[in-house]
Amino acid sequence: MSIQDVIKKSFLQGFQNTSLSMKDVALLLLVAGLLGIYIFFVYRITTVNTFYSKGFNVSLILMCVITAAIIVAIQSSVVVSLGMVGALSIVRFRTAVKDPLDLIFMFWSISVGIICGAGMPGLALALSLGVTALVLVFYRLPEVRRSMLLVVNARNNECAAQIFQVVGKYDRHYSVKSRSLTRENVDFLMEIRLKDYENLLSELQKIEDVTSVSVMAHKGEAVY
């Protein structure tokens, strides 16, 4: 018997020894589904995105079950495993993930499905509890200084120096993101970091040519 025959035989026997009964498969998929529901509620509680996507959250549950089923199928047959590799290699996912935390939840859901499909539901449960603890502890820590977007509307561009002087008084590290000038007015968009911005707004409103002042909190994009 050649070395190739030995490798082929051991490879095929490895797949044959991992065959699961329908009861075991149903149990693994059930555990994956329950952990997917758990991830669903964790995401719903911890998300801070104003535009909450229920469809994305539901997809986390389905992702757990589908991934677990794929892993079970791959273990059961070498033919199926090779077919899965070929089929999945042509799939392209083009949905943009705006929040990095959403990407973590997707990876968490896929990991739970893989671990459950591999027959280790205890590890999947431990992983879920550990990730939940990390999310609740670190992601919910309050920020010392929140990053804000300051929008100032004025009648003309002559008051720009006065506006920048007032903003610099409260935040030396402010940055001007944009300046939009028209015949009627001028708009300033600046990024600032302050604990309390009420005094800044009051002082800006006292400038004669300033018509309106507003602030928005943001995490890469405006949230309110």
User: What pLDDT is stored for residue 125 in this prediction?
Assistant: 92
User: What pLDDT is stored for residue 127 in this prediction?
Assistant: 92
R_g of the chain computed on alpha carbons: 27
Q: Which contacts (CB < 8 Å, 24+ apart) does range 181-184 have? A: 181/157, 184/155
Q: How far apart are CA 189 and CA 96, in angstroms?
A: 26
Stated length of the chain: 224
60: which DSSP letter?
H
User: What pLDDT is stored for residue 17 in this prediction?
Assistant: 46
Instruction: Concatenate the DSSP letters of all residues of 169-194 into one string.
Output: HH-TT-EEEEEEE-SS-EEEEEEEEE
Domains of the chain, each with CATH number or no CATH: 3-139 (no CATH), 146-217 (3.30.70.260)
Q: How far apart are CA 176 and CA 197, in angstroms?
A: 17
222: which DSSP letter?
B
Contacts of 194 (CB under 8 A, 6+ apart): 145, 146, 148, 170, 171, 200
Query: pTM for this one?
Result: 0.63
Ranges under pLDDT 70 in the chain: 1-20, 48-51, 76-98, 140-146, 218-224
Sequence letter at residue 191: E
Q: How far apart are CA 139 and CA 56, in angstroms?
A: 20
Contacts of 155 (CB under 8 A, 6+ apart): 184, 185, 186, 209, 211
User: What pLDDT is stored for residue 192 in this prediction?
Assistant: 84
Sequence letter at residue 149: L
